[in-house]
Amino acid sequence: MRSVLVIGTGLMGTSVALALRARDVRVHLRDVDSTALRTAAALGAGTVAAPTEPVDLAVMAVPPPLVGRVLADVQAEGVARHYTDVASVKGEPWEEAEALGCDTARYIGGHPMAGASRSGPLTARADLFEGCAWVLTPTADTGNDTLNSALELVALCGAVPVLMRAAAHDRAVALVSHAPHVVASLVAMRLEDADDRAVSLAGPGLRDLTRIAEADPGLWTAILSANAQVVADLLDDLGEDLRQMVDGLRAIASADEAKGRAGAETVEGMLRRGRAGRTRIPGKHGSGPERFEAVSVLIGDQPGELARLFADVGRAGVNIEDIRIEHATSKLAGLVHLSVATGLTTLLKKALQARGWQHR
């Protein structure tokens, strides 16, 4: 692959461009937003000059509802030999492309499973896709050269290709991303008009649960819109589960003891199934859920405390799999929860103790 046109210079497009530039691919940039375009070019993502001959691949990094229209336009120009996109929904854009009479043999849908909570070219980076799954959704129409061209793009970005049908992809992302996003937003929305005193009791659990609700509402409306049917069906199922849970709780709150016991069984059964579902979420490196144990260490709030802690952890030869910092609400201190592979906790605790850390 020698030349690529990146259409749309937000976070995703600019990151693709930077990754390709790092592998010496010639990159042309295009965006209707001239500020974003100039910013991406200034970051070294490519040239704003239009290609003088068809490029090997055009990558559309535009919101899902625009993919079909943009594809029709650029194919009419004949700007590239092959076409792909990085939008987070795959079914509807493909249908639109087909309805608009696009050459679907030369277009393959793509979706790198990477992102950030902020958007725009300034948040882009060449390593955004390193090690990430990058879904490609070929159809019976897709030409071999087009598929290979997309596979080369994925490899150049350091990602791992995953071939799926568009419909299966859309159901999967609705399940693991779109519906959870809506739920996080709805839980956070309930805090909008809540008492100050009530909100002040919120802890790290709620903070983690609602983190994704910080994302750009405009962009997420576009994402949800392009997968609206699938997400709505899934949220309906979730609403049904919610009703069952409410029925269980109301049975518990009733005066009837037998009903109460049945209600408690419903509630506990659903919490158990939730815990079982949770264990299926893959851990690091796509290696499936692993079991780690946490060692919690009390630290002060001065610069250098974490450095001192991690230096001591490093000396113990123990690798930290995950970190969570829990700030106390009023003292200048916090707890650092260090996840380490099961079996290394004793070693780590001894090493920390020897160096004067308070842990458990």
Residues 190-209 contacting a copy of itself, CB under 8 A: 190-192, 194-195, 197-203, 205-209
Q: CB-based contacts of 82: which residues, under 8 Å, 6+ apart?
A: 56, 57, 58, 106, 107, 108, 143, 145, 146, 149, 150
DSSP labels, 293-318: EEEEEEEESSTTHHHHHHHHHHHTTP
- Spatial distance between the Cα atoms of 164 and 305, rounded to a whole number of angstroms: 46
Residues 317-346 that bind a copy of itself (CB under 8 A): 317-325, 327-334
Of the two residues 85 and 92, which places its CB atom closer to a copy of itself in the complex?
A: 92
Residues 37-96 that bind a copy of itself (CB under 8 A): none
Report phi then psi at 153, rounded to 5.
Answer: -60, -45
301 forms part of the interface with a copy of itself (CB under 8 A): yes
286 forms part of the interface with a copy of itself (CB under 8 A): yes
Of 237, 346, 350, 353, the residue at the interface with a copy of itself (CB under 8 A) is 237
Of 100, 172, 262, 341, the residue at the interface with a copy of itself (CB under 8 A) is 172
Of 35, 47, 221, 353, the residue at the interface with a copy of itself (CB under 8 A) is 221
Of 24, 144, 275, 356, the residue at the interface with a copy of itself (CB under 8 A) is 275
Q: Which one-letter DSSP state was computed for residue 114?
A: -
Q: Which one-letter DSSP state was computed for residue 337?
A: E
Instruction: Name the nearest CA neighbour of 292 among 360, 338, 237.
Output: 338
155 forms part of the interface with a copy of itself (CB under 8 A): no
249 forms part of the interface with a copy of itself (CB under 8 A): yes
Residues 122-151 that bind a copy of itself (CB under 8 A): 123-125, 127, 130-133, 135
Of the two residues 83 and 94, which places its CB atom closer to a copy of itself in the complex?
A: 94
314 forms part of the interface with a copy of itself (CB under 8 A): yes
Instruction: Name the nearest CA neighbour of 58 among 156, 160, 146, 135.
Output: 146
Instruction: Name the nearest CA neighbour of 55 among 35, 74, 82.
Output: 82
